[in-house]
Amino acid sequence: NGKEVERSELNETNSAYYWYNDFSRMIGKKQNSLSPSLNDNSQTYAEVANSLRNPLKAWSDSSNDDKDGRGSFHYKSFTNAQQSAQIRADISEYLIVSPFDFGNNAQEEEGLWGVTSFQVTLSLQNDLSYMWSHSDVDSAITNFAVDVTLNSATLSSRYITPDESFVPRPMYDYNYQHYNVQKRDFGSAVAPNAQISICSNTLKMDVIPSYIYVFIKKKQANRTVLDSDSYFRIDNIKLKWANQPTLLSEYRTEDLFEMCVKNGYDGSFLDFTANTTRNFAGTTITEINGVGSVIRIRMGDDVGMMNQWMAPGLQYASDFQVEVLATNQNQSDTFEPTLYVVFQEDAVLSIGNNSAFLQLGVLSREDVINARKMEGINYQRFSDMQGGVNVKKIGRDILKIAKKGAPIAKKVLQVADLLGVPQADKALQIAKLLGIGVHEAGQLLGSQLIAGSRHKVFEPVCRRVRRKAPKKRKAPAKKRKAPAKKPGRPRKAKAGQLMSRDQLRQRLMEL
């Protein structure tokens, strides 16, 4: 729709994000199995060669519970000569980029409404280190060089046309994660087991981010097919932000690990620290070092806000700097590292009216202060409010009720005009029109009706539906046998009693 959203340096940072939110394991044997995607778990490939932990293992070495090793995938053709070999393969990759749909998270399973024009521009690099990995366990291989040729790429997408009875809203808002990547080279090579102190540049922050990633890895320009996606061990970290010069400086490695686990880290303590583990097999001792540290800091939780009107997502100009004490746990390679600092900023992508626009820093000080006064909501209610309208079910119910008479049909038509904006305040208006509670309106017209705004979530106020008490009648002289109840007819609710869904539906039918 004319708006460009860009995601750069994916080849350098994506492997770090994979260590969080169980993403790699969650879809490893499903969507993500279209391409080799098993995470590296050691400083070098040679350390785990011929073991079950080898990420380059063949399919026969992978258990049913594990992701397939990167050596399991099919080659379209393979020719091998004495001094040269050629491999052809078809590789399919998901665009794991906001706001596209990816993963199995229920809160991410939705399409993009209102898209009239759509274009994707990909910058493909013939960087072999991200297409082919090789172990140097056999040192006899010399003069090893590889050329990569990329043929034409194809983009696959799917369009879904909604039911004709659905009335779309003029504008749709979507959560969007904006990644601001900052990096700084150390400037000199670091030997195995050497500890360094590296400080980022003074970074300008316009919006308070939701998360901050910090990690150190080999300089991108020096990477080869022999290098795994591994990182330095981070021993200490110190943040300077908003006149607070020593944030997190008292955290030990164990404290940093527990913080990262709380924030979704999917590795073990050995993975995180890259400490040496030893395998004793007879007289042979094999030493393996883990993959290293990828720090994820949650703003507002791990780093507190100085004022009550501050929160992630607020426009707030400030300076940020991080100082890291880290160790090169690679036991065989001396190389120059690069410090990466990534700000994950929450934004809003609005699509509609043949246009689209992106908003960073959508919160105001008033929003933050008022949110503190709001009643909290549980996870299930929040999940219900994340979705849109159950269009098909609502359409059936409206048609059934509209046939029962003009008075109720008029109200239902008024309700239909409101269905395009599934916000909690509109749900209150719908409830008033029908003379029922918000919760009951949601039950009748579809559980997804009560959908709050993605950015201002309201807790619906549930009200009881009351019926007038019947007039008193004179007691009969003789007790009469109660007439048999008609099958399928719901019992009437007593005065002040909450009506069930069937009772409410019957009530509207009678009207």
Residue 404 in domain: yes
323 with 395, same domain: the answer is no
Query: Do 253 and 392 fall into the same domain?
Result: no
Angle between helices 424-434 and 406-418 (to 10 degrees): 180
Q: What Cα–Cα distance (Å) separates residue 177 from each residue in 100, 158, 180, 279, 483?
A: 11, 22, 10, 42, 63
Cβ neighbourhood burial of 102 (10 Å; 0-12, 13-18, 19+): middle
User: Is 359 among the domain residues?
Assistant: no
The residue range of the domain holding 209 is 10-349
Asked whether residue 360 is domain-assigned, the answer is no
Q: What is residue 235's three-state secondary structure? A: strand
Residue 480 lies in a domain: no
Question: Does residue 376 sit within a domain?
Answer: no
Question: Within this chain, do residues 340 and 450 fall inside the same structural domain, yes or no?
Answer: no
Residue 112: strand, helix, or coil: coil
Same domain, 339 and 394: no
Asked if residue 170 has a cis previous peptide bond (ω within 30° of 0), the answer is: no
Residue 320 belongs to some domain of the structure: yes
Asked if the structure places residue 362 within a domain, the reply is no
Residue 444: per-residue pLDDT:
47
Q: How many residues does the chain have?
A: 511
pTM: 0.69
Q: Which two tokens stand for residue 313?
A: 């997502």
- Helix count and strand count (H, E) for the chain: 11, 14
What's the structural domain count of the chain?
2
Residue 454 in any domain: the answer is yes
Domain shared by 435 and 290, yes or no: no
Domain shared by 179 and 229, yes or no: yes
Q: What is the residue-level pLDDT of the chain in tens, covering all 511 positions?
A: 878 877 778 888 988 988 886 655 555 566 667 777 788 889 988 888 878 788 888 777 776 666 777 877 877 878 888 778 888 888 777 777 788 765 544 444 567 888 888 888 887 776 766 677 777 766 656 666 677 777 777 888 777 777 888 788 888 888 888 899 999 999 999 999 999 999 999 999 999 999 999 999 999 989 888 888 999 999 999 999 988 889 999 999 999 999 999 999 988 999 999 988 877 766 777 788 889 999 999 999 999 888 888 889 898 999 999 999 999 999 989 999 999 999 999 888 888 888 888 888 888 888 888 877 766 555 454 444 433 333 333 334 433 433 443 344 344 434 444 444 344 444 455 455 555 555 555 544 443 333 333 333 323 333 333 444 455 555 555 555 555 555 555 555 454 455 555 665 666 566 5
Q: Answer yes or no: do 327 and 430 share one domain.
A: no
Region for 114 from its dihedrals, namely left if φ exceeds 0, alpha if ψ lies in -120 to 50, beta otherwise:
left
